[in-house]
Amino acid sequence: MEATYIKRKKDGRIHIMSGNKGDIVLKWTIIILAILTVVAFLFFNYAGLELGSAIRETAYNLKVMFLEPTLNHFDLGEAFYQIGITLGLAFLATIIGAVIAFFLSLMTAANLAPVWVSRTVRVFVAIIRAVPTVLWVLIFAIAAGLGSEAAILGMLFHSIAYLVKAFSEAFEEVDKGIFEALRSTGANWWHIVKSGVLPSTFTYLLSWTFLRFEINFGVAVAMGAAAGAGGIGFELFMASSFYFDLREVGFITYSILIIAFLLEVISTRLKKRYFPATTTK
């Protein structure tokens, strides 16, 4: 059922409008962006562009890339090794970030920490989260030099900020009755966390951590070349920009898609294992 809201005009008349303000803002935002997109295309420089030739060449490149994938500059064993490096970068950034984020989120949750501590940590992680992961990686690449260290530190920073928000919100949703029951038995703060908070939120922490691992894998691919971290992302950069080997680009793309698919399958299985009620709805 469509919501309605009332708008009073200057002359005192009341105008009833359907929908809500959020829907109207979203609709006009899409319309404005669509108009700006059309205007941008009109201002492009199309001098020397042969549309028919461009379409044919693009179609040929896509056919070579995705229908004739092969390896020319390294073998299959090296490909698995590079994929392992990328997964390792994502895994380290996620695990270390999850551990640090867990303790920081205990200081961020409003029901576990003093108000001033919670607000201070929230502001700190919000600033970190506002900076994109790629930019953090580039910052550390400049400060610490190109390499896997810069990639891990950059992903780690954003992972901590991301997981602190997710973990703290899970902690704040714990039933207040659990806290009252534990306090009535004389439990201290750490006992409340260990016996009340963790058992109630463990599945959520696991789910959010794995979701961040999926995100970090994609970032690790992108940062393989940008930060000199190596891995399959670096090989993709070399094949596309240095060798211009479309067949190798296609093979690496398929490899990345397969890994992403496997991660999604694992994620789905975890959700079915730990959230059976939500998956059957």
Using an 8 Å Cβ cutoff, are 163 and 97 in contact?
Answer: yes
**CB-CB contact of 212 with 163 (8 Å):** yes
36 DSSP assignment: H
Residue 1 has pLDDT above 50, yes or no: no
For the CA atoms of 243, 257, 86, 270, the dihedral, rounded to the nearest 10 degrees, stands at 180
SS3 call for 158: helix
218-258, pLDDT tens digit by residue?
888 888 777 667 788 888 888 888 888 889 989 999 999 99
Radius of gyration of the chain (CA): 25
Task: Read off the pLDDT of residues 89-110 as tens digits, 9 standing for 90 and up.
Answer: 999 999 999 999 999 998 998 8
Cα separation, 46 vs 43, in Å, equals 9
pLDDT at 278 over 60: no
**pLDDT-derived band at 197, boundaries 50, 70, 90:** confident
Q: How far is CA 228 from the centre of its chain?
A: 21
Report the residue count for the chain.
Answer: 281
Q: How many CB atoms lie within 10 A of CB 177?
A: 9
Give 41's pLDDT tier (boundaries 50, 70, 90). confident
**What is the distance between the alpha carbons of residues 270 and 260, in angstroms, rounded to a whole number?**
15
Architecture (CATH level 2) of domain 74-279: Orthogonal Bundle (1.10)
List of residues 6+ apart from 52 with CB closer than 8 A? none
Q: Read off the pTM.
A: 0.76
Structure tokens at 11: 């002359």
Q: What is the rounded average pLDDT for all residues in the chain?
A: 82
Residues β-bridged to residue 16: 6
CA dist 172 and 197 (Å) reads 9
Give CATH 1.10.3720.10 domain extents, the chain.
74-279
Task: Look at residues 210, 259, 198, 192 and name the one whose alpha carbon lies nearest to residue 97.
Answer: 210
Tokens 């479309």 label which residue?
246
More confident residue, 94 or 150: 94
CA distance 217 to 219: 5
